[in-house]
Structure 1
Amino acid sequence: MINPVLPQVLHVLRQHPYGISEYRLMKTLDSEHLFEEQNRTDGTMLPLFRKHFLIMNALYDLQDILWQEENRVLEISPMHIELHERQTDQPAKREPDWYPLLSEYYLDWQYYSNTTEDDIDRMMDDLKRIADQTH
């Protein structure tokens, strides 16, 4: 499947040279009416999950493309997403230390298609449990 928001995600990243949060990126794409299908909410978290998934899929896809084609690094975290030049002390052919398990997850379209509201509830419960353990 081709990600319908990938070109717009790249455009927004290039407009924010000092980075952007996932929330701000989502709001920007929302203002461009790119999530019409996902905005048809049914009162569950599933539409929000799908918007998040589309963004993360585009980012992880772009991470590899931009490294290979432009020798640029795309740092990805929910609070800060930034596209920048490769550090001069980093060998040109050596990829940065990314998170392969996250990229594998977000690059697999089956998770977009097959994730249910029950799955999201379990993920949220797991996150709460992890947060409680760290406090």
Structure 2
Amino acid sequence: MRNPLISPILAILKDNPCGISEFDMLKKLKVQLPELNELADDANLQLFRQHFFIMNALYQLQASLWQEESIMLSISALHIKLLLTEQVHLSESTELNDSVDAKLAAYYLDWTEYEKTDEEEVSRLLNSFYRGIDLKGDREAALKTLQIAEPSPSKTAIKQHYRKLAQQHHPDRGGDKETFIGLRQAYEYLIF
């Protein structure tokens, strides 16, 4: 099935010769195609479907541009850009990148992945992601950073400790930027 976003995406890429992020592309597409805001009632499922729809179009476009025009489309969430063949630089990691790109392309070109992913599956994927970044030892380090001795503090206690230390170490009050960022990281880790 040819993705209806291909033409609008190609126009966006033409207007952004230096490339564009997926986020900015989505914002532009939502203005052109308001129906992208009606793909699901659940916000997380909505975002998944928008992302999938865009990536499916990008990988379809990537394949057709390369086969028909020898133009490469570089795809990542942070930077999507058309590359003419003289702009393509081969690196030592080309085989690894090709392997990763091939797996991503296969996933996003399989429309059944879109159809089978419901609200529950998106929630499971998000929870799996969050558990994956929950590294052992981080909790203890975060508690130590915020000077909390209690092993299971309440969210209120975490906020109080954070606010107290943030006031002391805020760069606008002469504090150290790195210390302040460390405090914020510890707070975000514990409050989540």
Number of residue-to-residue matches in the alignment? 129
Conserved 8 A contact 2:42-2:119: no
TM-score, length basis structure 1: 0.83
Structural mapping, 1:37-116, within 5 Å: 38-40=36-38, 41-87=40-86, 97=98, 99-116=101-118
Range moving further from structure 2, 49-58 or 81-90: 81-90
* Secondary structure of the structure 2 residue equivalent to 1:42: coil
Task: State the alpha-carbon separation in 2 of the partners of residues 22 and 104 from structure 1.
Answer: 19
Which one scores higher on RCO, CA 8 angstroms, separation ≥ 6? 1
TM-score, length basis structure 2: 0.60
RMSD of Structure 2 on Structure 1 (CA): 2.3
Q: Percent identity?
A: 43
Conserved 8 A contact 2:72-2:85: yes
Conserved 8 A contact 1:22-1:81: yes
Partner residue, 1:23: 23
Unmatched tracts of structure 2, length 5 or more: 139-192
* Secondary structure of the structure 2 residue equivalent to 1:83: strand
* Secondary structure of the structure 1 residue equivalent to 2:133: helix
- 1:102-127 alpha-carbon deviations (Å, 9 max, x no partner): 11110011111121111101111222
Range moving further from structure 2, 43-52 or 108-117: 43-52
Q: Output the amino acid matched with 1:78.
A: A
Structural mapping, 1:116-135, within 5 Å: 116-133=118-135
The structure with the largest helix share of the pair is 2
Conserved 8 A contact 1:44-1:117: no
Question: Runs ≥4 in structure 1, deviation > 6 angstroms?
Answer: none
* Secondary structure of the structure 2 residue equivalent to 1:132: coil
Task: State the alpha-carbon separation in 1 of the partners of residues 12 and 85 from structure 2.
Answer: 20
* 1:21–1:89 distance in 2 versus 1, CA, 3 Å: closer
Conserved 8 A contact 1:75-1:83: yes
